[in-house]
Amino acid sequence: MIRVDPPEWTGRDDGPGPEHLRWHRAVLPLSAADRPGTALIGFASDEGVRRNNGRTGAVEGPAALRRALAPLALHTPAALYDGGDVRVDDRDLEKGQAALGESVAAAMGNGHFPIVLGGGHEVAWAGYLGLDRGLGADRTRTLGVLNIDAHFDLREERVPTSGTGFRQIAENEQAHGRPFHYAVVGISETGNTGVLFDRAHRLGVRYLTDTECAPPAVERVLDFVREFVASVDDVYLTLDLDALPAWVAPGVSAPAALGVAPEVVQAVIDTVAASGRLALFDVAELNPALDADGRTARVAARMIDRIATRRSTL
Residue 133, burial from CB neighbour count under 10 angstroms (0-12, 13-18, 19+): middle
The rounded distance, in Å, linking the Cα atoms of 192 and 131 is 27
Is position 90 annotated in a ligand binding site? no
Is position 242 annotated in a ligand binding site? yes
Check: CB of residue 129 under 8 Å from CB of residue 101: yes
Q: What are phi and psi of 207, to 5 degrees?
A: -155, 155
The rounded distance, in Å, linking the Cα atoms of 151 and 186 is 8
Is position 24 annotated in a ligand binding site? no
Is position 149 annotated in a ligand binding site? yes
Check: CB of residue 225 under 8 Å from CB of residue 146: yes
Q: Spell out the SS3 assignment of 155-206.
A: CCCCCCCCCCHHHHHHHHHHHCCCCCEEEEEEECHHHCCHHHHHHHHHCCCE
Q: What angle do CA 91, 92, 93 make, to 5 degrees?
A: 95
Q: Spell out the SS3 assignment of 205-269.
A: CEEEEHHHHCHHHHHHHHHHHHHHHHCCCEEEEEEEHHHCECCCCCCCCCCECCCCCHHHHHHHH
Inter-CA distances, 9 with 69, 71, 82, 180, 295, Å:
10, 10, 10, 39, 20
Known binding-site residue numbers: 121, 149, 151, 153, 240, 242
Per the annotation, binding residues for Mn(2+) are 121, 149, 151, 153, 240, 242
